[in-house]
Amino acid sequence: MARDQINNKGHFEPQRSSQAGRFSLWASRLLSVLFWLLVWQVAALAVGQQFILPSPLETLQRLSELLFEADFWSTITHSLLHIACGFLSALVFGTLMAVAAYRLRLVRVLMAPVVATVKSVPVASFIILLLVWVHSTYLSVIVAHLLAFPIMYTNLLQGLEATDTQLLEMADVFQIRPLARVRSIYLSQVLPYFEAAASLALGFCWKAGIAAEVIAIPSRSIGEELYHAKVFLDTSSLFAWTIVIICMSVLVEKGFSYLIKRLVKRIEERP
């Protein structure tokens, strides 16, 4: 009986420890959020001017009002689709160009000044310049693409270059087919670089895309709502829309990461 108890303890203790660790992590995060909300509330009380710094409760009240407004969800969908188009096009184009640069040195040489320029030029300069050429409706798509492309291209190229050469030599010796080589070698080697690049690029896309909307003010967009809130000194709406942007950014990033992992798992499980 004592041995069974020892075995049972030895079997269940790691699980309990893991659950306790997760609970402790979530508790610490919750306490951190509550602390900064308290700081925010104290600062709002000290200022005493809602149009300068609204309290968390005032912001939450305005956010709850936005949720039931007719144009709220269509506005989010409009901005989300435009920024997603820019990100996905950068993902596809960045992947193709990274593979081409990995195989052909000429492509890498030609892409180097383009990537360096896009990385160096401020986002505001791109937005103002593109306003001369592009309608404001499509500006966030192009800006999101320009910001995400160098991140995807650079990280994927680094991942391809870091692929284990011994595994590639073994694949050559055993004459493994290209598709099987991609699934068994490149996929596992490049995936960490891809996930890191996608996570970083999504964050930049959201910030740059919304910034482009604020400057260009396309109709039915989050940027337009932020601009109107600023013009009319509606700081509660400004804070509420900022919270919406943060929540959407986190949800999109987590959802995309989940889909990528599921897709990779299905590809690896295929015979």
Pair 223, 184 in one domain: yes
Please give the pLDDT value at position 85: 95
For the chain, the maximum distance between any two Cα atoms, rounded to a whole number of angstroms, is 81
Pair 89, 26 in one domain: no
> Could you list the pLDDT tens digit for every one of the 271 residues in the chain?
444 444 444 544 555 556 666 777 788 888 888 999 899 999 999 988 888 899 999 999 999 999 998 899 999 999 999 999 999 999 999 999 999 998 899 999 999 999 999 888 888 888 888 988 988 889 999 999 999 999 999 999 998 888 767 776 676 666 667 776 766 677 778 888 888 898 889 888 988 999 999 999 998 899 999 999 999 989 999 999 999 999 998 898 888 888 888 877 776 666 6
Q: Is 98 within 8 Å of 163 (Cβ atoms)?
A: no
Q: In which element (H, E) is residue 232 found?
A: none
Please state, in angstroms and rounded to a whole number, the distance separating the CA atoms of residues 189 and 162: 8
Pair 5, 75 in one domain: no
Pair 187, 209 in one domain: yes
Pair 22, 104 in one domain: no
Give the CA angle between residues 194, 195, 199 to the nearest 5°. Answer: 115
Here the CATH number for the domain that contains residue 190 is: 1.10.3720.10
- Cα–Cα distance list, 132 to 125, 139, 151 (Å): 11, 10, 25
If one counts the domains in the chain, the total is 2
Pair 192, 261 in one domain: yes
Pair 175, 235 in one domain: yes
Please state, in angstroms and rounded to a whole number, the distance separating the CA atoms of residues 266 and 214: 40
Q: Is 146 exposed, middle or buried (0-12, 13-18, 19+ CB in 10 A)?
A: buried
Pair 188, 72 in one domain: yes
Pair 144, 62 in one domain: yes
Pair 12, 118 in one domain: no
Count CA atoms within 13 Å of residue 162 on its CB side. Answer: 14
Pair 107, 28 in one domain: no
Please give the pLDDT value at position 5: 45
Q: What contacts 24+ positions apart, CB below 8 Å, involve 25-33?
A: none
Pair 22, 116 in one domain: no
Please give the pLDDT value at position 267: 67
Q: What is the DSSP string of 166-202?
A: HHHHHHHHTT--HHHHIIIIIHHHHHHHHHHHHHHHH
Please give the pLDDT value at position 86: 94
Q: What single letter denotes the amino acid at residue 11?
A: H
Q: What single letter denotes the amino acid at residue 166?
A: Q
Q: What is the span of the domain harbouring residue 68?
A: 56-269
Please give the pLDDT value at position 171: 66
Please give the pLDDT value at position 4: 45
